[in-house]
């Protein structure tokens, strides 16, 4: 028999074998409850292995992007340290700073789950009360504000994402410019609006927007995004479009910030109301 004939025979035999195996599995599945459970478990095991492998491959190929981001952040921090040394003549190290700076405690965390396809998006983080996490702590990265902790368990925390129609961040245009309320635009992944900017203040596209520091949740001067088109509202204020720096589709590592002085601030505010 020719070589081509052998190949056809092998392929035909393999096809018949596969069909017989499939038929046998179908007959087993319909012939008894125990066989049905056994086959279902086997199918679920295969699905689990495939999903787990897919997630591992996705995480592997995202490592380069994560490493590039970390390298950029390390470079920025080294520049800050050099500037500090030049201005003060003092040295600075991680041991001398610890995890409390400027009245805020900083705790690194990893996202366990991120919701991005709703009007009220959320995050779940791998840090909880055992790690000193408290409700109403802020969540940030080097690219901006990510959210606020709403509920804390022993080992995990549930947070409201900035991509949530109920969240407002106090923000400033530039380091010394006007302050307004920044909210998610409710549509795009990286779009926001800065509201209540006085109409008499000129707005320039391309300016950087920072946290104002007027909130007890977030430290001042965290870069948030870049200004875009400004629109007059009721002839008295501007609404300014903002393109956010944060990529909410790729959030993995975050920092939880807790204001160590928030109780004192709230007490003083309460006295003013009285």
Provide the pLDDT confidence category of residue 97 given band limits of 50, 70 and 90: very low
Count CA within 13 A, CB hemisphere, residue 20.
Answer: 6
Q: Is the pLDDT of residue 85 over 70?
A: no
CA 85/CA 91 separation, integer angstroms: 6
Q: Range with the lowest mean pLDDT among 49-53, 104-108, 182-186, 209-213?
A: 49-53
Q: What percent of the chain has pLDDT over 90?
A: 40
**What's 102-261's CATH class?**
mainly beta
Highest mean pLDDT of the ranges 19-28, 71-80, 145-154 = 145-154
Report residue 161 as tokens.
């994402």
Domain residue ranges of the chain, discontinuous segments joined by +:
102-261
Provide the pLDDT confidence category of residue 105 given band limits of 50, 70 and 90: confident
Q: Range with the lowest mean pLDDT among 1-5, 122-126, 259-263?
A: 1-5
pTM of the model: 0.65
* Average pLDDT over the chain, rounded to an integer: 78
- Cβ(253)–Cβ(66) under 8 Å? yes
């Amino acid at each position: 028999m020719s070589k081509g004939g052998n190949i056809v025979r092998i392929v035909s035999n393999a096809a018949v074998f596969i069909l017989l195996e499939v038929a046998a599995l179908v007959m087993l599945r319909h012939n008894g409850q125990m066989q049905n459970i056994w086959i279902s478990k086997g199918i679920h095991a295969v699905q689990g292995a495939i999903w787990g492998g897919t997630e591992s491959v996705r995480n592997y190929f995202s490592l380069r992007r994560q490493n590039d981001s970390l390298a950029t952040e390390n470079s920025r921090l080294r520049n800050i340290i050099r500037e500090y040394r030049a201005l003060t003549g003092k040295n600075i190290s991680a041991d001398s700073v610890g995890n409390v700076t400027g009245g805020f405690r900083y705790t690194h965390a990893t996202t366990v789950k991120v919701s991005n396809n709703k009007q009220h998006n959320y995050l779940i983080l791998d840090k909880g009360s055992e790690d000193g996490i408290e409700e109403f702590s802020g969540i940030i990265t080097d690219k901006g504000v990510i959210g606020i902790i709403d509920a804390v368990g022993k080992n995990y925390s549930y947070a409201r994402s900035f991509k949530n129609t109920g969240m407002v961040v106090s923000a400033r245009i530039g380091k010394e410019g006007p302050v307004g309320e920044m909210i998610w635009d409710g549509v795009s992944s990286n779009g926001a609006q800065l509201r209540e900017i006085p109409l008499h203040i000129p707005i320039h596209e391309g300016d950087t927007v920072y946290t104002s520091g007027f909130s007890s949740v977030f430290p001042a001067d965290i870069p948030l995004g870049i200004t875009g088109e400004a629109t007059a509202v009721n002839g008295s204020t501007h609404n300014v479009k903002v393109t956010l720096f944060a990529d909410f589709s790729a959030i993995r590592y975050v920092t939880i910030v807790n204001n160590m002085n928030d109780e004192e601030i709230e007490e003083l505010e309460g006295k003013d109301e009285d």
